């Protein structure tokens, strides 16, 4: 411990004015702190950066989900555009000039994926004469099937048409 005689030599401010020490400590400590304004500026900067980041993430997620939805719908459209036979395919034969000849094929087609079946067989009545029943029965309608699948080499254009036309 220092004596009272040595104390003013080592700490000159005590000899001059005792309140000076408190003023100096108060002034020096205020320079190391952070003010409320600086805190508010930093907080606002964090909020702005977080909102921009959130907007970017959300817009990217929405864009990705829209693209995946388009891909799913394109796949469903492509699979529904393919037709396949459902049930039995029946060939009718008759004796033509001493030879058994197929004169009519009856079949049902539907969409490949959960499609409704479409009967493409015209009205059929058989009189047992062994001739073409459509001609002999005087059927008024015949079925025309037009189907084009152009999904080759990356092109996805599909044209499928079924029509019943009146026989002339």
What are the DSSP calls for 54-90, one per residue? Answer: HHHHHHHHHHHHHHHHHHHHHHHHHHHT-EEEEEEEE
Which contiguous run of DSSP H or E holds residue 17? none
Q: What does the domain layout of the chain look like in residue ranges?
A: 82-166
Say what the pLDDT of residue 110 is.
72
pLDDT-flagged residues of the chain (< 70): 1-33, 78-82, 111-168
Say what the pLDDT of residue 19 is.
60
Two structure tokens written together for 25? 């400590």
Q: What angle do CA 63, 65, 68 make, to 5 degrees?
A: 110
């Amino acid at each position: 411990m220092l004596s009272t005689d040595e104390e003013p030599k080592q700490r000159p401010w005590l000899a001059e004015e005792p309140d000076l020490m408190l003023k100096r400590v108060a002034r020096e400590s205020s320079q190391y702190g952070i003010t409320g304004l600086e805190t508010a500026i930093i907080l606002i900067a964090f909020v702005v950066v977080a909102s921009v980041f959130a907007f970017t993430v959300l817009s990217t997620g929405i864009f990705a989900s829209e693209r995946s939805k388009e891909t799913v719908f394109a796949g469903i459209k492509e699979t529904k555009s393919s037709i396949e036979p459902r049930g039995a395919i029946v060939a009718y034969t008759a004796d033509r000039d001493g030879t058994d000849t197929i004169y009519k094929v009856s079949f049902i087609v539907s969409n490949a994926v959960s499609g409704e079946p479409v009967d493409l067989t015209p009205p059929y009545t058989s009189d047992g004469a062994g001739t073409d029943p459509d001609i002999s029965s005087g059927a008024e309608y015949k079925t025309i099937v037009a189907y084009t699948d152009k999904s080759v080499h990356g092109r996805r254009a599909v044209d499928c048409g079924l029509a019943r036309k009146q026989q002339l």
